[in-house]
Every structure is written in structure tokens, then in C-alpha cells.
Structure 1
Amino acid sequence: MDVSAEMWDQLHGAGNEHRFGRGQVVLRQGEPATHVLLLVSGRVKASLTLPDGEILLLAVRGPGELLGGMAVLGGDDRSATVTTIEPCVMRALSAERFRALVRTADLETELLRRAMRRIREGEVWRAETASLPASSRVVRALVRLAAPGTDDPVDVGLGQVEVGQAVGLSRSVVAAELAKLREQGIVRTTRRRILITDPARLRALAASGHGNV
């Protein structure tokens, strides 16, 4: 869970339920921050469109995540676009209601710590993208995006282009690295689908610091 259980319960109780299908934009880059979303079930991806049109995949988030909170508190427009990867259930709170709860429940410190965690995560990811070979970047991206803890097969929910957007690689390079993992029985791939068949081995590969077994 991205926030404490106590904070989640307070925000969850104040929100209204909304359901979204796969591929729906729930927050859009550049739009006013009028509300926050609590992700109850399902997964979403956050992406940034640069001035030249290039798209960067910033993160994949799962249940227990607070979406859009920093923009609301900072009075800024949305800094990224959030799109559902699969059907999702969310709770929505207006910006005014969210800010009131933060003040009355003294949640500022927890939200600041959350923001700092996200900044550190982003710094680690940028450092990996700048310094690691393609094989390690793809392996670590798959772990980060889809298989942080489970040992069961995982549908990444992202295609090769999107994995490339996360680590600064072309689709062809990602395809080549996925082919190596497929030969080792770690993943299976079909059109626009990547299935991690052995998450434990993938995590071990990422922890080893090498892209190949």
C-alpha cells in the first residue's frame, strides 16, 4: 500500500466509487487538478509526454495507491497522464475535500514522506537507464513494473513499446532482450502481451546485476 492503513481508511470513506475499463485515461497531463483518486483494485500506468512528442513511461501502480495528490496539494496542473492497464475500481475525492482531510487529520508529514519516496525511486530508475546495459534495464523494468513480489505468472499488461518507453530503448532492442528471456523460460510473449512465467527467477536475475543467466 502506498499510504498508511489509517490514511487509506479516512480517504476511502470520503470518496465516491468509480469503475473504469481497460485503456481509459483517468488523469490527463496538463489538466487542472480537480480531484484525487484512490486505486482500490486493478493497475494503472503513468506516462509523460515531452514537448517533442516523445512518451516516457514513469511508473505502474497497483491497489492502495493515491493518484493525483501532489498536484492537488501544490495547486499545479497534472504532471502526467494516468491510464488503466486493466479494469479498475477507484474512489474519487474532490480537491477541496482532500485538502480538508489532509489538514484535519494532520496528514502532511505522511504525504511528504510519500513524495520523497517517489523522488528517490525516480532517481534510481534514471540512474539505471543511464548506466546499465539493455539486458539489465529490461529485466529490472519488468520486475519493477509487474513482478515486485509474487511468484505466480504475471501478465505485464504492457507491450514492447511501453517497456522501451520506461527504459529508453527502442522496440527492436526490447524485443531482442525479451527473446533471450523467452529462451530461458522466464517470459512468454504474444502480440502486445508479455507474460512473466517465472517471476522468482526474473527477480533473481535483476538482483544479480546481470541481464543474462
Structure 2
Amino acid sequence: MWGDEPQLKILRERIKLLLKIHHADLAPVKRHASQGELLMHQGDPATSLMLLTSGKVAIQIRLLELKPHTLAVVEAEELLGEMGLFGTGSHSADVRVVEGPAELVEVSGDNFLKTLLFDVDLAMEMLSLVSQRCKSSNMVIGLLLDGIAAAYRGDTAQMAAIANAIRPLDYCLSLASDRLVELGKSRA
């Protein structure tokens, strides 16, 4: 799901350029994180933005189940923490290093937001990125809801078609649609 947005490559380059141009104002800090380390905790205040420069992280959400659900696994060069920074002010998911060690560049959220005032194009690209991620999530959620409806009807052909539609969009969530297919088969 994440990492395939068309504007992401441009955004990555703009952020690197922004870090160079506004280095003194942003005061970026290089961080190293070992495998298994939690970089962001769901519900905690979003106080920084990170650029993953090496390694892989999992974006995980915990709701009612004890075990977290993995929404995405992303690798360098991925932006982390922007949703909490621009949204509610808190992280909506955990971000954990799953293949490390990971290297990151961390910037204070306040410094980043102040710097955006000087680069309207970057601000628009950030909004576009967040919007694209929301659209992609909405599509996957809609397909999962269609899958639940198909499972309720016992329509295994529709459930299989939905699982196939989700697979290229998001590998991690495609596992949930595969479970729906299995559920439908067991009902038949």
C-alpha cells in the first residue's frame, strides 16, 4: 500500500533537499534502531517526523485483539509519522523495526511545520501523500467490507475475486481477505 504513490519519489527528494537547505532550522538527528525496536507508539503524541534511510519497519495497529495487525511493511526511503503530525496530534499506529538495524533521520514536528511555511510546494506534496494514503486505505477497507458481505451471502466466487483485488494493493491486508475466503469455504 505505502511506497507506491507516484509523488513519493518527488517528495523523498524534496525532503532530502529541505533537510540540506534548512539544516540549521530543522536540526535533524540521525538515529539508529535495532530490530524489534518500537519507533512510534500508537496513541502517543506525534512530536517528530522520521525519514527511514535503511532497514524495514512494520506499521501495526492494535484495536481489540491483543496481537497487533500489520497494515504495511515499508523500507527506505519512507516517511514516517506524518499522519499524526498533520492529523490528530497522536500516532494512529505502532511503527516497529522488523528488519534492522534501521537508520533514520528524525526532525522535530514543530521545526518541520515551521519550515513548511517556506516551501508551499512541499506542503502540497505532503497533503497529496497523506490524501493518497487515505484513498488507498479506503479502497482496501471497502473491499474488505465487500468481502464480509460476500462471506455472509456465502458467495465464494465473489470472495475470491475480492481477495485477488486486495492482493496487489496491500499484501498484509490480503491475509485478512484470504481468511474471509477460507471462512466462506467452511460455511459452504
TM-score normalised per structure 2: 0.68
CA distance in 1, matches of 2:134, 2:32: 29
Paired residue secondary structure (1:111): helix
The answer to which structure has the higher helix fraction is: 2
1:1-213 alignment, distance < 5 Å: 2=8, 3-11=11-19, 14=26, 15-51=28-64, 53=66, 55-74=68-87, 76-87=89-100, 88-106=102-120, 107-131=122-146, 133=159, 137=163, 140-141=166-167, 144-145=170-171, 163=172, 167=176
Q: What is the Cα deviation at residue 24 of structure 1?
A: 1.1
User: For residues 71 and 45 of structure 1, do their structure 2 counterparts lie closer, same or farther at Cα, with a shift above 3 Å needed?
Assistant: same
Q: What is the Cα deviation at residue 126 of structure 1?
A: 1.7
Unaligned runs of at least 5 residues, structure 1: 146-162, 174-213
Paired residue secondary structure (1:104): coil
User: For residues 24 and 136 of structure 1, do their structure 2 counterparts lie closer, same or farther at Cα, with a shift above 3 Å needed?
Assistant: farther
RMSD: 3.3
User: For residues 166 and 90 of structure 1, do their structure 2 counterparts lie closer, same or farther at Cα, with a shift above 3 Å needed?
Assistant: farther
Asked if the contact 2:56–2:76 (Cα under 8 Å) also holds between the matched residues in 1, the reply is yes
TM-score normalised per structure 1: 0.61
State the one-letter code of the partner of 1:33.
A
State the one-letter code of the partner of 2:163.
R
CA distance in 1, matches of 2:69, 2:177: 8
- Please give the per-residue CA displacement for 1:9-39, whole angstroms capped at 9, x wherever unaligned: 3147542111111111100001111111101
Corresponding pairs, count: 158
Unaligned runs of at least 5 residues, structure 2: 148-158, 183-188
Asked if the contact 2:30–2:104 (Cα under 8 Å) also holds between the matched residues in 1, the reply is yes
State the one-letter code of the partner of 2:95.
V
Query: What is the aligned-residue identity percentage?
Result: 21
Q: What is the Cα deviation at residue 120 of structure 1?
A: 1.3
Q: What is the Cα deviation at residue 169 of structure 1?
A: 5.9
Asked if the contact 2:55–2:76 (Cα under 8 Å) also holds between the matched residues in 1, the reply is yes
Asked if the contact 1:11–1:98 (Cα under 8 Å) also holds between the matched residues in 2, the reply is no
Paired residue secondary structure (1:43): strand
Asked if the contact 1:58–1:166 (Cα under 8 Å) also holds between the matched residues in 2, the reply is no
Paired residue secondary structure (1:47): strand
Q: What is the Cα deviation at residue 127 of structure 1?
A: 2.9
Q: What is the Cα deviation at residue 75 of structure 1?
A: 5.2
